[in-house]
Amino acid sequence: MVPDGAGLHQLGGWTVIGLLVLFFGSTFMMTLFIGRKKENADGYMTAGNKVGFGISAGSMTATWIWASSMYASATSGYTYGISGPIHYGLWGALMILFIYPFGKRIRAVAPKAHTLAEVMYARHGKSSQLMLAGSNIVGSMVSITSNFIAGGALISLLSPFSFTQGILFIGGGILLYSLWSGFRASVLTDAIQVFAMLGAVVIIIPVVFFAAGGTDMLVTGASKLTPQQSNFFSSEAFLNQGAPYIAAVLAYAIGNQTIAQRLFAVREDLIKKTFITATVGYGATIIGIGMLGVMALYAGVAPLDGDTNNLIPQMAATYLSPVLLGIFLIMIIGALSSTADSDLSAMSSIMMADIYGQNIAKKGEANPKTMLFVGRITMIVATGAGLYFASGKLNILDLLVFVGALWGALVFPVIASFYWQKVTNKAFTVSVLVALAFFLPIRFEWIPMTGATGIIVDVLSVIGIGVVLGLMAFGFFGLKTAKIVAGVAMVAAAPFAIGFLHGYTVLSGSLVAYAVSTLVCYFMCFSNNATFDFDSIKKRIGDFDDRAEADHTDSGSLLEKKA
């Protein structure tokens, strides 16, 4: 076993400052090219709905490849062996793929939307809108917090600076280039950052592998593994990591404003192409970086301070030369910045469109200049809050799975709202609240999972399995196939799950959230005779700026040319 902190290399303080200034200074300079004399609230939120393929695919990939996903993949590899990163990266990649069929429908229904919550307002009303907006504020705050934690851990290990100083550097740098141009800054810098990340991964993973001992490390380290860690088809890895992540990431895909924002920004005819490209880029990168955790497991590396968040920077500091260590630092900062700036843009859009634009300003009288002010204040406050929460050094993997499961309560009501005329505002709201009421005590084990309670949880979990797989099938193959897939999945899972699954609270809590929200929403709506005209949403959602058409052409031009 390698002792904590043994053989760690560090970069000098001025070297780290120079790299940070180079990275954040370059991204800031990029944003100056999209500055304009006449500011545009719509461009600040969605870049004019005309972003081209190259920029969109790069941004989608970079947003999904965040530092926290890299750290969590490595933690999974260290905990479960080689199957850990496979479960984490493969299912995460496939969830990007599952976005595009639903995304095409969402864009067709609301081509000029800025947020999903804004569409829910047009579809249902205020309570559904605020529920979705609120969940995204919470989710984006968790995301920013976990990225700041990742950055702080990185800088504290690779430099003389402390964790607190590290998160201040990261938070200030991201705010610097995001504040002025909003989403336009995020999407343009993402495209540059993703190529830097992919290039760094291709270089760094093989170097660490051979420096750690190469194939000899695998041979000698195999004896240290438990039977589950050495098993590629580990049931522990699937039940504790793979299955919860399948459910969690589907929820991320449907309920996450950072994803929706890119969906609303990309040219409508490029949605499929964009998300397929992002699927491949994400899967390859995250599975690759997760192998650092597997190498740490085989090499007998003990996480510094017992914190698995330290694994990736610890492996880099142990096995990389100073030059490659600098490249590695830029890779991780690029990954966390690409997602943190997306979260800032997402929260600013929610506050601009959903809170101010539709709930504070009088109908049709939202002032674009006031909206921009609200958006920028939101970014400043969110950065400060993220830095405060990051100081607690929470476990990143737990944060990600928790938020994904929390969003699971929203998935069916949101999807159904875009396809099924009978869904009502009351059904949407009640189904989500009831699902959360079931999810929280199960997830945090507030009640004993024994006797009849355990059986009820297992039955609901089986229904949840059917809902998750049925929704996946529905996106690509339609309602008839979805019903068959859901039915077969429940019948096949029941004999194995009932009496057993309640012992895995992360998985069962997420599945119960899916099941309860689906059942409540369906039974509250199936007898409803009312109909809804989906075409009316296009009339209710449009641009906030008075000269929208001219402004959209201006704000989207650079991004289209760069693509």
Report yes or no: 408 and 471 within 8 Å, Cβ to Cβ.
no
Give CA–CA dist 2/412, Å, rounded. Answer: 47
Asked whether the CA dihedral 291, 297, 302, 303 is positive or negative, the reply is positive
Give CA–CA dist 118/544, Å, rounded. Answer: 12
Backbone angles phi, psi at 51, to 5 degrees: -70, 135
Residue 104: burial class (beta carbons within 10 Å; 0-12, 13-18, 19+)? middle
Give CA–CA dist 518/425, Å, rounded. Answer: 14
Helices marked H in 391-424: 396-419
Q: List CB contacts of 377: < 8 A, sequence separation 6 or more.
A: none
Would you kindly state where each structural domain of the chain is located, as residue ranges? 2-392, 420-533
The CB density around residue 383, as the number of other CB atoms within 10 Å, is 22
**Unique residue bearing structure tokens 């007998």:** 300
In SS3 terms, 237-273 reads as: HHHHHHHHHHHHHHHHHHHCHHHHHHHHHECHHHHHH
Q: What is the pLDDT of residue 548?
A: 41
Give CA–CA dist 431/413, Å, rounded. Answer: 8
Give CA–CA dist 539/110, Å, rounded. Answer: 9
Give CA–CA dist 529/508, Å, rounded. Answer: 34
pTM for the whole structure: 0.81
Which candidate, 396, 390, 374, places its Cα nearest to that of 174?
390
Give CA–CA dist 360/371, Å, rounded. Answer: 11
Give the amino acid at 333: I
Give the amino acid at 541: I
Give CA–CA dist 431/14, Å, rounded. Answer: 54
pLDDT in tens, the chain (563 residues): 444 555 678 889 999 999 999 989 888 887 777 655 455 777 778 877 788 888 888 888 888 887 667 888 898 899 998 888 888 888 888 878 888 888 889 999 988 888 888 899 889 988 888 888 888 888 888 888 888 888 888 898 889 999 999 999 999 999 988 887 788 778 878 877 787 777 777 888 899 999 998 889 988 888 888 888 888 778 888 877 777 777 777 777 777 788 888 888 888 888 889 989 988 888 888 898 899 999 999 998 888 888 887 888 889 889 998 899 998 888 888 888 888 888 999 999 999 988 888 778 777 677 888 888 999 999 999 999 999 888 876 665 566 656 666 678 888 999 999 999 999 999 999 999 999 899 888 888 888 888 899 999 999 999 999 999 999 999 889 999 999 999 999 999 999 999 988 988 888 988 999 999 999 999 999 988 878 889 899 888 877 765 344 444 444 444 444 44
What DSSP character marks residue 297?
H
**Long-range pairs of 468-473 with CB within 8 A, sequence gap ≥ 24:** 468/246, 468/247, 468/250, 468/511, 468/514, 471/250, 471/411, 471/412, 471/415, 472/98, 472/250
Give CA–CA dist 235/83, Å, rounded. Answer: 10
Report yes or no: 338 and 65 within 8 Å, Cβ to Cβ.
yes
Give CA–CA dist 519/77, Å, rounded. Answer: 36
Q: What is the pLDDT of residue 36?
A: 53
* DSSP annotation string for 109-175: H-TT-S-HHHHHHHHT-HHHHHHHHHHHHHHHHHHHHHHHHHHHHHHHHHSSS-HHHHHHHHHHHHH
| Superfamily (CATH) of domain 2-392 | Sodium/glucose cotransporter (1.20.1730.10)
Q: What is the pLDDT of residue 450?
A: 85
Q: List CB contacts of 563: < 8 A, sequence separation 6 or more.
A: 51, 52, 53, 54, 55, 56
Give CA–CA dist 442/408, Å, rounded. Answer: 14
Report yes or no: 470 and 486 within 8 Å, Cβ to Cβ.
yes
Give the amino acid at 276: I
Q: What is the pLDDT of residue 409?
A: 87
Give CA–CA dist 412/432, Å, rounded. Answer: 9
Q: What is the pLDDT of residue 160?
A: 92
The CB density around residue 389, as the number of other CB atoms within 10 Å, is 18
Q: What is the pLDDT of residue 552?
A: 43
